[in-house]
Structure 1
Amino acid sequence: MKKIVLASLMAVLLVIMAACGSDDKETGTESNKKEDTTITFGVTPWTSTVPPTKIAKLIIEDMGYTVEEVNADVGNVVIGLGRGDLDVFMDLWLPVHEVKIEKNKDNIEALSISYDNAALGIVVPTYMTDINSVSDLVGKEDMFNNELYGIEEGAGTTPTINELIDSYGLDMKQITSSEGGMLAQAKRFISDEKPVVFYGWRPHTMFNKYDLKMLEDEKNHFEASTVTVFGNKELKEKAPEVHAFLSNWNISIDDMEELIEVLENDGTDPEELAREWIDNNQDKVNKMLGK
């Protein structure tokens, strides 16, 4: 009888040990699968792209995945999403970028709204008291050397600004370069309180650094944007956990401007700042993670 009981106990122990070994193997396999899966983010040269990308990157790395960043202009980022070369972009502005999305709609999807009511349009310094709308520029173009400063040529707003110039009959040319180049020119004029007109948007520290006003656009070329996270449609199958997290993603426009201001003024490492935001907003992070 004792032999039968002992044999039964040994059999139970063997089953338990096999189950534990199986669990360990499955856990290890899952961990290795994550490590072998690379999530690739598209990153534009805009200041608004950096904070959300770094925050999401660190959270996804904490899940156990490898994350890479690929720098490109927004047009190439959307193309990369469509081809599957990129998995995620955190900073698509709607309706500004709708044309770019339309060309790749079969392969990309909106995952979540990062923040909305992001104002954008044409701005001038507040010391230009007689210029309060785009129509006020008509007949005064020479005050600005017939130049309106924009960002990079491939940006979604570049053709919109050209359309605005044409529709108002402005004798002006849009000067494109980059966000930094545009702001450097604006700063040069503002420091001498000279006339200057350029493209502006929120979230951005330009409104903290300078006294600016957004011109009324009577023809509605610009409207407040909804900043949206987009991903390749294969992401859900590739990394369901990442897809679920990004589908719950959101951050306030006020947080965004604070983060951008710290990056620009303090020279803080972007990933250090992102980690600090995560630590200070763990309740928000947990909600995005579905915890």
Structure 2
Amino acid sequence: MFKKMSLLVAAVIGLLFTFGSEDSYKTTVGSDSGGQTVTLATVNWESEIASTNVLAQVLQEAGFNVQITTVDPAIMFSSVAEGQSDAMVGGWVPTTHQAYAEKYGDSMVDLGANLEGAISALTVPTYMEDINSITDLTDENDSTITAIEPGAGVTNSAQNAVKEYDN
């Protein structure tokens, strides 16, 4: 599954770089980039690390030097918008990172999705067989929800769910 997903991401990114610019007919993979450095911002999530490294490989094969910087999601968006980073592939919109997309979107160029159909949700271990929705949760795991870093939109969603549901 991971191999197929990586190949799909590589193909989409390759197509974006091949056909995504106004002068795409003049672009060839492996063209002399003059050794320019491209800085990619990413977050420390397995899916984004993989996608970023696929993009880095494509850029390296095109002759670019690539620097990958791992940051918080808010910094990932702001660094691209402010020109401190050249690109990112880790924006989960329209849900998880929508607030960042709205804040910084006018200062960035959206080249399209590199992954479609992914969901972000609360999950429970398989041994919690009777838990099928948020409303089924009571005092499991000492009433603790473990989330990812504070800057992620999914963490905000989890915090809002805690406020919204009585249980």
TM-score (norm 1): 0.45
AA partner of residue 127 (structure 1): Y
Counterpart CA distance in 2 for 1:119 and 1:102 is 20
In the alignment, structure 1 residue 84 sits paired with structure 2 residue 77: no
Helix, strand or coil: the match of 2:116? strand
CA contact (8 A) 1:40 1:70 kept: yes
Question: Who is 2:43 aligned against?
Answer: 44
- Mapped partners of 2:106, 2:36: distance in 1: 23
Name the SS of the counterpart of 1:123 in structure 2: coil
In structure 1, what is the Cα distance between the partners aligned to 2:61 and 2:118?
30
Q: CA deviation at 1:87?
A: 1.0
Q: Could you give the per-residue CA deviations for residues 113-135 of structure 1, whole angstroms, max 9, x where no partner exists?
A: 11211122111122222211111
Match status 1:73 vs 2:72:
yes
Aligned position for 2:132:
132
- From the CA coordinates, give the structure whose radius of gyration is larger: 1
Higher relative contact order at CA 8 Å, sep ≥6: structure 1 or structure 2?
1
Q: Distance in 2 between matches of 1:67 and 1:119?
A: 29
1:164 matches 2:152? no
On the 8 A contact 2:81/2:107 being kept in 1, the answer is: yes
Q: Supply the distance in 2 between the matched residues of 1:145 and 1:136 (Cα, whole angstroms).
A: 14
The answer as to 2:134 corresponding to 1:151 is: no
After superposition, residues 21-60 of structure 1 pair within 5 angstroms as 31=32, 34-60=33-59
CA RMSD of aligned residues (A): 1.5
Q: What letter corresponds to residue 71 of structure 1 in structure 2? A: T
Amino acid at match of 2:91: L
Aligned-partner Cα distance in 1 for 2:61–2:128:
49
Q: Report the Cα distance in structure 1 between the residues aligned to 2:34 and 2:65, rounded to whole angstroms.
A: 6
Residues 91-118 of structure 1: CA distance to partner in whole angstroms, max 9, x if unpaired?
2111211101111122112112112111
Offset, 1:36: 4.2
Q: Which runs of no fewer than 5 residues in structure 1 stay unpaired?
A: 1-29, 171-291
Letter in 2 for 1:163: N
1:237-283, Cα deviation, whole Å (9 max, x unpaired): xxxxxxxxxxxxxxxxxxxxxxxxxxxxxxxxxxxxxxxxxxxxxxx
Q: Which residue of 2 aligns with 1:100?
A: 100
Residues 11-26 of structure 1: matches in 2 within 5 Å? none
Aligned-partner Cα distance in 2 for 1:79–1:35:
27
How far apart, CA to CA, are the structure 2 residues paired with 1:119 and 1:159? 15
What amino acid does structure 1 have at the position aligned with 2:70?
A: N
Alignment partner, residue 238 of structure 1: none
Counterpart-to-counterpart distance in 1, 2:66 and 2:34? 10
* Counterpart amino acid of residue 93 in structure 2: L
Unaligned runs of 5+ residues in structure 2 are 1-30
Superposition pairs of residues 1-291 of structure 1, within 5 angstroms: 31=32, 34-95=33-94, 96-137=96-137, 140-141=138-139, 143-170=140-167
Native 8 Å contact 1:35 1:66 kept in 2: no
Structure with greater proportional strand content: 1
Higher helix share: 1
Matched letter for residue 128 of structure 1: M
